[in-house]
Structure 1
Amino acid sequence: MKETVNVNIGSVAFTLDEDAYFALRSYFDDIRNRLPEGDTETMNDIEARMAEIFRERVSSPMRVITLDVVHAAMAQMGEPSDFGEPRNGTRTASAGESPADAEPERRRLYRSRTNRSIAGICGGLGEFFDADPTMIRLVTLLLILFGGISIWIYIILWIVIPEEPARRFSFNGNDKKR
């Protein structure tokens, strides 16, 4: 089961699944970073065109826009690099550099806010290691029941691992807490 996010793109309401939302948000942020400072008109035009593409590809307004639809729309719109070089001195891989040489994003271990049964520890471990949280829960339960680890370790992890920060959603500069 995936979460969905309701967004307005180009003044049109859409429902996107969570993966599609984050891919589209990253795409828009990358384009916004390449446009001149304060050029809201171009960004509004890009969002309006994306909304048109979504309306063409999704037959019913009640359908959820998936990651495949977002990828197809992004391919139709073009790469963010088509909009120019990034501003603000952000580092991207240049022509002589491979993307592997670029500094990777640092991953952090958090207790999950959305995928939790008790404290979000197994959900957070699942997100961190890209594993199924249900399997981590089963293994943890078996280890606690059969003496592999103590319940105290789980409680210590509950205290030590910070909770995942609240997400902030923004498409056109207006931040809203979910």
Structure 2
Amino acid sequence: MKETIQANIGSAAFTLDRDAYTLLKDYLDDIRSRLPNDDTETLDDIERHFAEIFHERITSPMQVVTLEMTRTAIDRMGSPADFGEKHASAAAATPPRGLRRSCTDRALAGVCGGLAEFFGFDSLLVRIVTLLLILCGGLSVWIYLILWVIVPEAQQQTSQPNQNNR
């Protein structure tokens, strides 16, 4: 079972699975960092083109945009490098990557979800490994509790892919 996200892309509503949303958001953010700050039309056009591509593949309003559909659309759109070089201010504005407890992918405190996001693993796999380590004595419950206390919680993002953070 995968988590889905409602997003407006090019002024059209879509339901995307979590992986597809993350991939598309990263792709659009990469392009945004390569465009001049005053160029809003290009990104809007790109989003509208993504909406057209998704509408070609989706046969029902209840159908979810998958990771495979998103990868296909990105392949059709081209590399973000085609839109120019990254601007220095955009690269500096990117926050440093750090370990955070997940706000959205949590079973208890978000520790395993945060570890999964940080290392790029599936959160279910991290939870299973953690449980096995606790049961086999390789990991103490105290370590989990300490991580719960010292690892800060990630800030919940309320923006959607079509909202420009300018």
TM-score, length of structure 1 as denominator length: 0.74
Instruction: Name the SS for the 2:13 alignment partner.
Output: strand
Relative to structure 1, is the Cα distance of residues 57 and 137 closer, same or farther in structure 2, using a 3 angstrom cutoff?
same
Query: How many residues are paired up?
Result: 159
Mapping for residues 97-136 of structure 1, pairs under 5 Å: 107-129=97-119, 130=121, 132-136=125-129
Deviation for aligned residue 1:114: 2.9
More helix by share: 2
Q: Distance in 1 between matches of 2:149 and 2:13?
A: 40
Question: Do the aligned residues in 2 keep the contact of 1:122 with 1:136 (CA within 8 Å)?
Answer: no
Consecutive unaligned residues in structure 1, runs of 5 or more: 92-104
Q: Distance in 1 between matches of 2:37 and 2:146?
A: 47
Q: Distance in 1 between matches of 2:34 and 2:116?
A: 34
Consecutive unaligned residues in structure 2, runs of 5 or more: none
Q: Distance in 1 between matches of 2:165 and 2:86?
A: 21
Deviations 1:59-78 (A, max 9, x none): 21211001111111111112
Q: Distance in 1 between matches of 2:81 and 2:143?
A: 47
TM-score, length of structure 2 as denominator length: 0.78
Relative to structure 1, is the Cα distance of residues 123 and 31 closer, same or farther in structure 2, using a 3 angstrom cutoff?
closer
Structure with the larger RCO, 1 or 2 (CA within 8 Å, 6+ apart): 2
Number of the residue aligned with 2:145: 155
Deviations 1:36-65 (A, max 9, x none): 321222222221111111101122121100
Letter of the structure 1 residue corresponding to residue 68 of structure 2: D
Relative to structure 1, is the Cα distance of residues 56 and 150 closer, same or farther in structure 2, using a 3 angstrom cutoff?
closer
Relative to structure 1, is the Cα distance of residues 23 and 160 closer, same or farther in structure 2, using a 3 angstrom cutoff?
same
Q: Distance in 1 between matches of 2:139 and 2:75?
A: 49
> Bigger radius of gyration, 1 or 2?
1
Establish whether residue 81 from structure 1 lines up as the match of residue 81 from structure 2. yes
